[in-house]
Amino acid sequence: MQRAAALVLRGCCPRTLGPWGRSQSSAAAEASAVLKVRPERSRRERILTLESMNPQVKAVEYAVRGPIVLKAGEIELELQRGIKKPFTEVIRANIGDAQAMGQQPITFLRQVMALCTYPNLLDSPSFPEDAKKRARRILQACGGNSLGSYSASQGVNCIREDVAAYITRRDGGVPADPDNIYLTTGASDGISTILKILVSGGGKSRTGVMIPIPQYPLYSAVISELDAIQVNYYLDEDNCWALNVNELRRAVQQAKEHCNPKVLCIINPGNPTGQVQSRKCIEDVIHFAWEEKLFLLADEVYQDNVYSPDCKFHSFKKVLYEMGPEYSSNVELASFHSTSKGYMGECGYRGGYMEVINLHPEIKGQLVKLLSVRLCPPVSGQAAMDIVVNPPVPGEESFEQFSREKESVLGNLAKKAKLTEDMFNQVPGIHCNPLMGAMYAFPRIFIPAKAMEAAQAHKMAPDMFYCMKLLEETGICVVPGSGFGQREGTYHFRMTILPPVEKLKTVLQKVKDFHIKFLEKYA
């Protein structure tokens, strides 16, 4: 039918309409006609289906934006449409996005970014000179003096130098080499890239990647994508989520039976668990990695988020170096940082870096080659990272305001961490380990047997059932522990501590009330 009409049309405007050409309205009319007559026969079987797609992608899960968050989105739409609920807003306590919950960006950072974005502002009296100085430095290092040019695939040179200087200062003088610094599109991009290069082999030689349980589910997702072998090591909940080297040993021995364990991932401070590893623990881990010939990944994006006065952040790089040359010349390490956390909360800019230690020069060449296919990380995110590592210093005009804002954010987070830990520990049936760092609570919840049965009837994991009920009854969206991993028979959820203090108090009260009711209902 179409071909006949087409042949008639072929005579006119051959350059604008081919044999199948027709106007929009006649096509639309025909479409309606055809669909009315034989709706099923118009739609062929698709090429891309759940069955034909990449099975490795199908296996990927990412709970932080998973089913419960999709449900939260549906509920928000219902609220917008005026459907009555026991609450007036959904509180998204599922994701570590501080600015989404009202945290203000650091003024100085945004000033420098604005100057880089629209350099006319360099002539404006409304911007401080120290911000202009940094903007000029960044722009001079960019192609065409513009954030709009691709940078080198490893990142803008002077920003890499600034990152190296930052690391050196942070680590009390332990030197960092700019050549070992790679700017990335958030830390997730760097972690994913390094894992991609590492994974090889087949059958029992397939690369095993050791990850903490509970983990940040980027790791399990990338391991799925790459068809690598996930090797779980359990953090010790009874010991404030400490990392026990005996458990590492147990995990690697078992893993060797079915894969080639090659990589050890550490998150410090921990996500979701919030523990800050002691220096001794870090040394033990490094020694273990050296012994077992494991490539170390140190995810340190929460390095600025340490609240407990008894804890201190020690970078893996620094500890490695200070353990002497047998370690510092041999252990292969990649450490990651990001603009998304800390006191900056610049998630949307997708800024990050990785520092690699003891990588074979040929591998570094391979790394740059792989990165070059995506050209470069967003230059605006690189600029944001530059300000993070090169902030105002005493004597500079912006220093006071910068310090005030930074201390305010971090002080606030520390206060909210304590508040959350204390509040949860007052609730019968909830136990929350100390929130030493990061920005989450990961309390353990004790789910009564009747609730377990109800969950099973709903074909849900018990903690997912709990979190769904919490969401439906209070509008509070948290992520069930099963999304991060937990010891068999234990249940948790991860909640951020990011809402403003007063709102957080309300949230915590609502969770407490919900939990007590839940216990009563399923007693």
- Sites for a second copy among residues 248-287 (CB under 8 A): 262, 278-280, 282-284, 287
- Considering the complex, state which of residue 252 and residue 447 has its C-beta at the smaller distance from a second copy: 252
H or E segment to which residue 515 belongs: helix 501-521
Using CB under 8 A as the binding rule, the residues of this chain from 170 to 229 that contact a second copy are 172-174, 185-186, 188-189, 192, 196-200, 218, 221-222, 225
Residue 122 near a second copy by CB under 8 A: no
In angstroms, the Cα distances linking 130 to 387, 390, 517 are 11, 11, 55
Shortest Å, Cβ 445 to a second copy:
25
Other C-beta atoms within 10 Å of 326: how many? 10
- Considering the complex, state which of residue 138 and residue 468 has its C-beta at the smaller distance from a second copy: 138
- Considering the complex, state which of residue 149 and residue 425 has its C-beta at the smaller distance from a second copy: 149
Shortest Å, Cβ 441 to a second copy:
20
Shortest Å, Cβ 405 to a second copy:
14
- Considering the complex, state which of residue 42 and residue 509 has its C-beta at the smaller distance from a second copy: 42
* Segment interacting with a second copy, rule: CB under 8 A, options 112-120, 158-166, 237-245, 388-396: 112-120
Shortest Å, Cβ 222 to a second copy:
7
Q: Is 125 exposed, middle or buried (0-12, 13-18, 19+ CB in 10 A)?
A: exposed
| Strand positions, DSSP E, 274-398 | 295-299, 333-338, 351-357
Residues in Cβ contact with 322 at an 8 Å cutoff, skipping those fewer than 6 apart: 174, 328
φ/ψ of residue 7, rounded to 5: -60, -35
Shortest Å, Cβ 15 to a second copy:
7
Residue choice 143, 179, 246, 397 for contact with a second copy (CB under 8 A): 143
* Residue with the two structure tokens 């899960």: 61
Residue choice 53, 77, 393, 501 for contact with a second copy (CB under 8 A): 53
The alpha carbon of residue 412 and the mean position of all alpha carbons in its chain are separated, in whole angstroms, by 22
How many residues in the shown chain lie near a second copy by CB under 8 A?
Answer: 129
* Residue with the two structure tokens 């099923």: 40
Shortest Å, Cβ 56 to a second copy:
9
Residue 446 near a second copy by CB under 8 A: no
Question: What residues pair up with 229 in beta bridges, in sequence order?
Answer: 208
Shortest Å, Cβ 309 to a second copy:
13
Residue 397 near a second copy by CB under 8 A: no
Q: Determine contact, residues 50/437, Cβ cutoff 8 Å.
A: no
Give 99's DSSP letter.
G
Shortest Å, Cβ 478 to a second copy:
17
Shortest Å, Cβ 143 to a second copy:
3
Using CB under 8 A as the binding rule, the residues of this chain from 85 to 104 that contact a second copy are 95, 97, 99-103
Give the span between the Cα atoms of 492 and 440, in whole angstroms.
Answer: 12
Q: Is 191 exposed, middle or buried (0-12, 13-18, 19+ CB in 10 A)?
A: buried
Residues in Cβ contact with 152 at an 8 Å cutoff, skipping those fewer than 6 apart: 376
Using CB under 8 A as the binding rule, the residues of this chain from 307 to 326 that contact a second copy are 321-326
Q: What is the CA radius of gyration of the chain?
A: 27
Give the span between the Cα atoms of 435 and 225, in whole angstroms.
Answer: 31
- Considering the complex, state which of residue 118 and residue 446 has its C-beta at the smaller distance from a second copy: 118
CA angle 298, 94, 453 (to 5 degrees): 110
Shortest Å, Cβ 119 to a second copy:
8
Residue 295 near a second copy by CB under 8 A: yes
Bridge-based pairing state of the strands 440-441 and 430-431? unpaired
- Considering the complex, state which of residue 95 and residue 430 has its C-beta at the smaller distance from a second copy: 95
- Considering the complex, state which of residue 227 and residue 473 has its C-beta at the smaller distance from a second copy: 227
Using CB under 8 A as the binding rule, the residues of this chain from 329 to 388 that contact a second copy are 329-330, 332, 344-350, 358-360, 362-363, 366, 369-370, 372-381
Give the span between the Cα atoms of 28 and 23, in whole angstroms.
Answer: 9
Residue choice 82, 144, 309, 489 for contact with a second copy (CB under 8 A): 144
In angstroms, the Cα distances linking 169 to 172, 175, 308, 390 are 5, 8, 22, 11
Residue 36 near a second copy by CB under 8 A: no
Residue choice 34, 240, 419, 516 for contact with a second copy (CB under 8 A): 34
Residue 242 near a second copy by CB under 8 A: no
Shortest Å, Cβ 152 to a second copy:
8
Residue 246 near a second copy by CB under 8 A: no
Give the span between the Cα atoms of 372 and 155, in whole angstroms.
Answer: 10
Give the span between the Cα atoms of 140 and 151, in whole angstroms.
Answer: 12
- Considering the complex, state which of residue 372 and residue 425 has its C-beta at the smaller distance from a second copy: 372
Shortest Å, Cβ 347 to a second copy:
5
Q: Is the peptide bond before 214 cis (omega within 30 degrees of 0)?
A: yes
Residue choice 4, 11, 44, 520 for contact with a second copy (CB under 8 A): 44
Dihedral Cα 354, 275, 507, 485, nearest 10 deg: 80
Residue 121 near a second copy by CB under 8 A: yes
Give the residue from 429, 406, 409 showing the smallest Cα distance to 417: 409
Residue choice 126, 309, 395, 449 for contact with a second copy (CB under 8 A): 126
Shortest Å, Cβ 431 to a second copy:
26
Q: Determine contact, residues 384/349, Cβ cutoff 8 Å.
A: yes
